[in-house]
A and B are shown apart, each in its own frame.
Chain A
């Protein structure tokens, strides 16, 4: 970009706090911009007009707007696509946190202006990646979530292919006898009524239904997935734009629960076994003699919330047991019903249902089951250590029901904690592993068969659930264009599954539409840049293909990276990973950030004005810095902040660039990483940390102290903590002393 216009805003106190003549001189003199204008408020109609006129009449190709934070007024500062815009943050990050009319404040503003101009000098106008996009959706799994997703997407006008492994639609929900209340007053059993949805799905002209069918492979990328299936109707292959995986759950294996009496008697059943039996017979009976039980003991959290079995809560078992208790009370009000629980979890309106069962005289016992045994005369004895009386109680039951939890369909045995209680289990259970063939075992948990360099399925978190950003961005997975919905991503009830189906359908639609426009989907939604590879210099080191958190890059047999731009989330972690620095974006590159660092003026040692470069993650750290200014918290005038797309885009050369320039230290502000990571790009700050462990080589080469580089994890709410983070870093720098490279 040659024709650069610099626009210095005088508004919001910038004019009073800074010497704008000085800044003007930097812009047109030192930085050789084509022109520099000032205005009281560029966000006004008049101010914007001024810039637009320059673009039209003066041929300005790049606008450097030195005013407020790039995070505000984005709807106002809109320019034609061909114009590169850079916003220099003089308001939030300079004058709001530092004294006006001060030499150091002015130096900071001038540096930011230099960096802004350099940034646009190194930028190119964006040319979005546009390919022919197939605007259709594949839904895998025909349970309640999947059917809802399929129907919603089809209703919105997007052709859907629904693939179901079983012969019939409906999944687990179809096996329920009745549904617990999901309508007010939340007290009465409801009919399952899945037929309406099934017939709507079957009748919708936009839905192609493939039952008794499984995926055999998926190639390609969002907008252009090539799906191969095989099933009852033979094999076929077709294109889709995006995918919803709604493959649901499987029951926790009760054979691990011999300590709760499973296998002791036919009358110890799981909640699922009771449900299926009741649905079949239209009433609750004992498996041993088909009689109606006169006393029933429900054992909640059977294997759940137990570190040696299923460590999490499946969230529905309390309501399921209450439902089944009501089957019994409606069948015969004199049936004695005991529910032994750890905590009754009946959130929201479901409390009404809990209350109903309490009022019906169900006995709720908070405590631990000590033993389950037969009493020799056809009854079962359950001994419970009851917390609320502090005593051991002995309960007699005709039937014992184990409320077992939900395991995501993708989970493998190895995803769960603890080995099965092999020795104590029933004979059938012992022989089971042998009965499973090696091929079957290999297939366990397999659904999508993606032909991706990083593996055939969605990456999983603990317990085998696909990583679906469960707090901030439900349905998102680490595979662009593939959305997880329903119990495969988290245990939930039918209401949750329905909502998930709708949500994931919307994400799938959003994906094909944005992909067609050449835009990134979540989290850099709308970004039209994409990584370009200068292949002549590629050394086939595989770092980019391995480190991409989203599996965007495949490899050919010679280990050359094969980018899939529509899978890309534009995090630029690949850019940070590449030792040859051959990966760059039109508006973000290794050279660009390096040049910005080099544009910082470093005062002579005797001036005693240290300089620290802060590379701040755009998602959390940079907004936190803005908040610092918004709260008028004072901070240090010696730091120079550069926002980065993700700390994972950190290329080690930047550290070398900064230190060889005489900058005293580099502070990296990234997101929390680990199991409960907050990084929008999943692994970015973790990778930065890992790369930093290698930085000592670079520092050794320069004969510098490794303490000059530090990474801190900050959350957006940590803004009050940032000044002290900076101060402590500067104190350490002070101890080490000035960078000896100053003035070189």
Chain B
């Protein structure tokens, strides 16, 4: 066996790139055991061991750079909430990816995403001018002085046809409830959450600073997001860059509006409906109860809890930049989630994140379960019943 030499300079560079708790790791392996990749077969599952990734990082040794290793992490935070040493494992992954990005190594599938973000301000190669196309046929107020909430629509819901329905549902519900809200539109850029996770710190800084300046110039104080990823970065990352806003996710305000009687679900759903906790709404932002309250109000006794819920929820597989990467059918976490919902007798699966909708629908499609188990955003479920 050829001996390899640790390069502590490399590990110091990783720490400097954001992996501040890299050395806290005592290599117990609880992270690897908790990782959703253990639940699926295949090459990535066999290659990606987060405990070992951090070990290599600590020693500055090569072997973590490839797509199926360091880029496998979906930043679901299942390991983070369980780590006995409170290691910020996602930050460590981000630091390692960031160190790689700084020397120009980025997986091929990220190139168009990064290019699009640079040129259009969104990851989906949509023209900036088409950012508001989702509004077609709807009266959507424009954010102006005196508007209480900025409605920040996730790029995915701006450009993806399926996802646009989520934005439309949210707008209609807020309108019915008489909430003072408005959108900014074309001037907005992607929140930058996922691009930071894939390691492009510079691009994230650019996007974030652009948005902060924009929001501040418009006098934004409160933001409703349609994606938990935007919620995360606005509330947990923007403040360090000077962007202090009061941020909530649409499931939170909708739940409040129902409780206040401003939205009254009338038609009760006759189908059994289950809820999938998005990692970024649940584990990352600890919003567990609002979506459940909402579904219980709508589903009228037909709400079905899954087995893996709340802080033990199963990731859809779309976070941390995985949404732009290919995962072979049969290796997708979404497949397991769909199976779980069906086994529980669910007739619809609600969630509260555009990424989750994309990933779970990809699974129902390849599994031929589209009809059996529609994937819905929680706002869509609510709108149906009103």
Residues of A within 8 A of B (CB): 336, 338, 355, 358-364, 366, 383, 385, 388-389, 391-396
A contact residues around B189 at 8 Å (CB): none
A contact residues around B25 at 8 Å (CB): 358
B23 contacts the other chain (CB 8 A): yes
B4, B8, B24: the one within 8 Å of A394 (CB): B4
B59 contacts the other chain (CB 8 A): yes
B26 contacts the other chain (CB 8 A): yes
Chain A proximity of B153: nearest CB distance (Å):
41
- Is B3 within 8 A of A383, CB to CB? yes
B4, B8, B15, B24: the one within 8 Å of A391 (CB): B4
CA distance A723 to B15 in the complex (A): 65
Of B50-58, B200-208, B369-377, the one with at least 4 CB within 8 A of chain A:
B50-58
- Is B5 within 8 A of A393, CB to CB? yes
With A336-B8, A355-B24, A358-B23 known to touch, is A389 a contact of B61 (CB < 8 Å)?
yes
- Is B27 within 8 A of A366, CB to CB? yes
A contact residues around B328 at 8 Å (CB): none
A338, A358, A363, A383: the one within 8 Å of B26 (CB): A358
B contact residues around A358 at 8 Å (CB): 23-26
A359, A361, A363, A391: the one within 8 Å of B1 (CB): A391
List the B residue with the shortest CB-CB distance to A361: B23
B-side interface residues, number (CB < 8 Å)? 24
B contact residues around A383 at 8 Å (CB): 3
Query: Binding site of A, secondary structure by majority: helix, strand, loop or mixed?
Result: strand
A355, A360, A362, A395: the one within 8 Å of B6 (CB): A395
- Is B55 within 8 A of A389, CB to CB? yes
Chain B proximity of A386: nearest CB distance (Å):
8
- Is A388 within 8 A of B23, CB to CB? no
- Is B59 within 8 A of A393, CB to CB? yes
Chain B proximity of A336: nearest CB distance (Å):
5
CA distance A364 to B27 in the complex (A): 10
B contact residues around A385 at 8 Å (CB): 1
Residues of B within 8 A of A (CB): 1-6, 8, 11-12, 15, 23-27, 51-52, 55-56, 58-59, 61, 63, 85
A contact residues around B61 at 8 Å (CB): 389, 391, 393
List the A residue with the shortest CB-CB distance to B1: A392
- Is B3 within 8 A of A393, CB to CB? yes
- Is B56 within 8 A of A394, CB to CB? no
CA distance A360 to B24 in the complex (A): 9
- Is B24 within 8 A of A389, CB to CB? no
List the A residue with the shortest CB-CB distance to B26: A358
List the B residue with the shortest CB-CB distance to A385: B1
- Is B6 within 8 A of A393, CB to CB? yes
B contact residues around A366 at 8 Å (CB): 27
CA distance A338 to B58 in the complex (A): 11
Chain B proximity of A278: nearest CB distance (Å):
23
- Is B6 within 8 A of A363, CB to CB? yes
CA distance A362 to B11 in the complex (A): 12
Add 16 more A-B contacts to A363-B58, A388-B55, A392-B3 (CB < 8 A): A336-B8, A358-B26, A361-B11, A361-B12, A363-B8, A363-B59, A366-B27, A383-B3, A385-B1, A389-B61, A389-B63, A391-B61, A392-B2, A392-B4, A394-B5, A395-B6
Chain A proximity of B374: nearest CB distance (Å):
45
List the B residue with the shortest CB-CB distance to A371: B3
12 contacting pairs across A/B (C-beta < 8 A): A336-B8, A355-B85, A358-B25, A360-B23, A361-B23, A389-B56, A389-B61, A392-B1, A392-B3, A393-B4, A393-B59, A393-B61
A contact residues around B6 at 8 Å (CB): 338, 363, 393, 395
A contact residues around B27 at 8 Å (CB): 366, 388
B contact residues around A393 at 8 Å (CB): 3-6, 59, 61
Chain B proximity of A668: nearest CB distance (Å):
49
B contact residues around A394 at 8 Å (CB): 3-5
CA distance A363 to B3 in the complex (A): 17
B contact residues around A360 at 8 Å (CB): 23
Chain B proximity of A199: nearest CB distance (Å):
42
CA distance A389 to B6 in the complex (A): 11
- Is A359 within 8 A of B23, CB to CB? yes
List the A residue with the shortest CB-CB distance to B22: A361
A contact residues around B12 at 8 Å (CB): 361
CA distance A396 to B59 in the complex (A): 13
CA distance A355 to B8 in the complex (A): 19
B contact residues around A395 at 8 Å (CB): 5-6
CA distance A396 to B6 in the complex (A): 9
B contact residues around A396 at 8 Å (CB): 5
A contact residues around B51 at 8 Å (CB): 388
CA distance A362 to B58 in the complex (A): 9
A contact residues around B3 at 8 Å (CB): 383, 391-394
Most chain A beta carbons < 10 A, residue from B3, B24, B51, B59? B3
A contact residues around B56 at 8 Å (CB): 389
CA distance A113 to B2 in the complex (A): 81
The 7 closest A-B pairs by CB, nearest first: A394-B3, A392-B3, A392-B1, A394-B5, A388-B55, A361-B23, A388-B27
CA distance A391 to B55 in the complex (A): 12
List the A residue with the shortest CB-CB distance to B8: A336
Chain B proximity of A356: nearest CB distance (Å):
11
CA distance A359 to B58 in the complex (A): 11
A contact residues around B26 at 8 Å (CB): 358, 364
CA distance A507 to B315 in the complex (A): 62
CA distance A364 to B25 in the complex (A): 10
List the A residue with the shortest CB-CB distance to B63: A389
List the A residue with the shortest CB-CB distance to B3: A394
With A359-B23, A361-B23, A363-B58 known to touch, is A389 a contact of B52 (CB < 8 Å)?
yes
- Is B2 within 8 A of A388, CB to CB? no
CA distance A359 to B88 in the complex (A): 13
A contact residues around B1 at 8 Å (CB): 385, 391-392
CA distance A383 to B6 in the complex (A): 11
A contact residues around B4 at 8 Å (CB): 391-394
- Is A389 within 8 A of B59, CB to CB? yes
CA distance A366 to B58 in the complex (A): 13
Chain B proximity of A381: nearest CB distance (Å):
9
A contact residues around B63 at 8 Å (CB): 389
Chain B proximity of A332: nearest CB distance (Å):
13
Chain B proximity of A347: nearest CB distance (Å):
15
CA distance A392 to B59 in the complex (A): 12
A contact residues around B85 at 8 Å (CB): 355
Chain B proximity of A349: nearest CB distance (Å):
16
B contact residues around A389 at 8 Å (CB): 52, 55-56, 59, 61, 63
CA distance A392 to B2 in the complex (A): 7
- Is B5 within 8 A of A359, CB to CB? no
CA distance A361 to B63 in the complex (A): 20
Chain A proximity of B370: nearest CB distance (Å):
44
CA distance A385 to B85 in the complex (A): 25
Chain B proximity of A358: nearest CB distance (Å):
5
List the A residue with the shortest CB-CB distance to B58: A363
CA distance A43 to B145 in the complex (A): 90
CA distance A653 to B264 in the complex (A): 96
CA distance A383 to B59 in the complex (A): 14
Chain A proximity of B126: nearest CB distance (Å):
43
List the B residue with the shortest CB-CB distance to A381: B3
CA distance A383 to B5 in the complex (A): 9
Chain B proximity of A330: nearest CB distance (Å):
17
List the B residue with the shortest CB-CB distance to A336: B8
Chain A proximity of B8: nearest CB distance (Å):
5
CA distance A363 to B26 in the complex (A): 10
CA distance A362 to B59 in the complex (A): 10
Chain A proximity of B27: nearest CB distance (Å):
5
CA distance A391 to B58 in the complex (A): 14
Most chain B beta carbons < 10 A, residue from A360, A383, A391, A394? A391
CA distance A81 to B122 in the complex (A): 97
CA distance A39 to B2 in the complex (A): 87
CA distance A363 to B12 in the complex (A): 12
CA distance A358 to B15 in the complex (A): 13
CA distance A392 to B24 in the complex (A): 23
CA distance A364 to B85 in the complex (A): 15
CA distance A706 to B51 in the complex (A): 62
